[in-house]
Amino acid sequence: MIVDDHPGFRELLRTFLRTTEATFLECEDGRDAVAEYPGFQPDVVLMDIAMKDVNGLSATAQITARFPPAHVVILTQYDDPDLRAAAARAGACGYLPKDQLAQLPEMLQALPYL
């Protein structure tokens, strides 16, 4: 699942990850992600932080509270230690600044579901 309010970034992620045998569900904000997660139950959620309606930290907390095995990786423009800590408290299993996107495949391979 790709959750980001910028369609261009969602497309970039789809293209970047297309080499995997993956089915993608895209959401524009955290509210949609929380609503769609139960029916899709993806292997991983790639979640932005700054989105209108429900931000990524709140959506991550809601998803991981209902589905403890959920794997949420925060992808954000903010490389901030306080946000990293907040993401971990919300239940995210990873945090990656968008300018370090090249590290995403390695991070995903390290997740326990693979």
Q: Give me the half-sphere count of Cα atoms (radius 13 Å) on the Cβ side of residue 27.
A: 26
Categorise residue 41: left if φ over 0, alpha if ψ from -120 to 50, beta otherwise: left
pLDDT in tens, the chain (114 residues): 999 999 999 999 998 887 767 889 999 999 999 999 999 999 999 999 999 999 999 999 999 999 999 999 999 999 999 999 999 999 999 999 999 999 999 999 888 764
- pTM: predicted TM-score of the whole model, two decimal places: 0.94
The most distant pair of C-alpha atoms in the chain lies apart, rounded to whole Å, by: 34
Does the domain formed by 2-106 have CATH 3.20.20.140? no
